[in-house]
Chains A and B, each alone.
Chain A
């Protein structure tokens, strides 16, 4: 039993062996899952970014903090 097309390399003729990744035949399902994973990243990342920007904007409303940022910037 093997998840790949190979159960032993003994006596194998490599010229007759094609794909050796597991579960050959599921490529289309893998592509669909992969594309969903990619698009899911963009959705989740946009939410994370929105929260961060809200936090940054709140921090910018502190005169003490923004003054400190400008002082550091002037020293750079």
Chain B
């Protein structure tokens, strides 16, 4: 902060990440709208509260331990090394609060990713960078929320939200979305805009929950044929998905580092090359991701319209699936490649959703497993073929790991299966065993908002009786 260009770089970066946060808030407005639209009237308030309260719970737990996990676990721990000391991210760190960058009482011996970069730099970026990651955490938990509507108990869902939002997803980020993560340096894993680290893991996690949770009452006929429980309000569903598209702009931008000198990362010596990079510190441009976001969205929408025969919910969802499929390599693809990959992902997600529903009798009311999980998985594998041989690691690494189909496939298995499905299945089984996972059948039938509706009826009767009494006092009624 002691030179004009240094201060401008820091404050620009601080502002850049800050802007991504309100943009990503739109994702959650969208998720709330679309889940409420997809649920029946008798479950509206339960649905919106379930999604709303994940926000404070994931926020505080991400402050307590999620942020530290990201910096402490790039080596596994136990895969390529131990826990990385990360004094910048422990909740009792001075850098986890208002800090001007000067010396503080407890920072003299501080070590860690940010602390090494200098307090002046990190003290101003820690909060905005934390918040950008936190909004990814909300997204991961919110994706799971949609798959569980109309039958999960909030107690259980909020525990599961903390498990993925401040636990498993940030472990996967440390492994596969950190420039020094072991999946990046050993497998050549590449996932620039989170096909796997957010979407495949959240889809896998949702699958793990709904396998244990079971379908909504009435979803399947006695012979196993699925029945359509249609969205109560398709307008709300589609506008909700539209808002998620809007939030994706912040999501994509937050996945980049906006300005950094490539020379300091192992580029040509003595040459100053300022650039934007991916989260792996590999060069890209904002133009690249704008091209590819819009083209993959378009590919998904066009293919989704055709495959769903113009059905609104699935056309919008296919747009999302298109972006998610192309996201792993959207830092590098040609826009037309992004469009085609988006189209392939959208068709696969649509077909797989209905095949899995029929074959395994799984009830995913919003198609979250397909749109996020299957599309994310497929996107990772496609990326392995499309970017085969491209360096996955930044230039400062002595050994260059390259992107390969097998590295991406292994990464997809880890994201969807190991860190997604498996922990969700285990925690859900425990919650089910404790009788905490699912609401009683009678409550599911009468609706999860019944207590509120009865209370509102009582309020209305009380006010009506007061009105009648007043009308009688004024002689308007006898």
Contacts and interface: CB of A to CB of B under 8 A. Distances in A.
Interface stretch (B100-108, B178-186, B382-390, B391-399): B100-108
A55 B458 CA distance: 14
Interface in B18-75: 40-42, 57, 60-61, 63-64
B443 A34 contact: no
Contact of B57 (A38, A46, A57): A38
A27 interface: yes
Contacts of A2: none
B154 A18 contact: no
Given A15-B1, A20-B98, A65-B446, A38 B60 contact: yes
Given A18-B103, A53-B439, A60-B443, A45 B158 contact: yes
For the residues of A in contact with B, the DSSP-based class is helix
A11 interface: no
Given A15-B2, A24-B104, A56 B94 contact: no
Contact of A57 (B94, B99, B120, B443): B443
Contacts of B447: 56, 69
A18 B155 contact: no
A17 B42 contact: no
A69 B91 contact: no
B91 A42 contact: no
A30 B123 CA distance: 19
B48 to A, nearest CB: 15
Contacts of A73: 40-42
Contacts of A20: 98-100
Given A24-B105, A28-B92, A41-B57, A56 B99 contact: no
A15 B102 contact: yes
Given A18-B102, A45-B155, A73-B42, A66 B446 contact: yes
B94 A18 contact: yes
Nearest to B218: A73
A38 B64 contact: yes
Interface string A45-75: 1100100110111011100011001001100
B102 A14 contact: yes
Interface stretch (B189-197, B282-290, B412-420, B448-456): B448-456
B461 interface: no
A18 B98 CA distance: 8
Contacts of A53: 153, 439-440, 443
B97 A21 contact: yes
Interface residues of B, number: 47
A72 B107 contact: no
Interface in A4-19: 13-19
Contacts of A66: 445-446
B442 interface: yes
B450 to A, nearest CB: 4
Contacts of B232: 76
Contact of A56 (B60, B158, B159, B446): B446
A42 B98 contact: no
Interface centre among B57, B64, B96, B100 (most CB of A within 10 A): B100
Given A19-B97, A56-B443, A69-B447, 20 more contacts: A14-B101, A14-B102, A15-B1, A15-B2, A18-B100, A18-B101, A18-B102, A18-B104, A18-B105, A20-B99, A25-B105, A27-B93, A38-B64, A42-B158, A46-B155, A53-B439, A59-B451, A65-B446, A66-B446, A76-B232
16 contacts: A17-B101, A18-B102, A18-B119, A28-B92, A30-B92, A34-B60, A37-B60, A45-B154, A49-B155, A53-B153, A55-B450, A56-B443, A56-B447, A59-B451, A66-B446, A72-B41
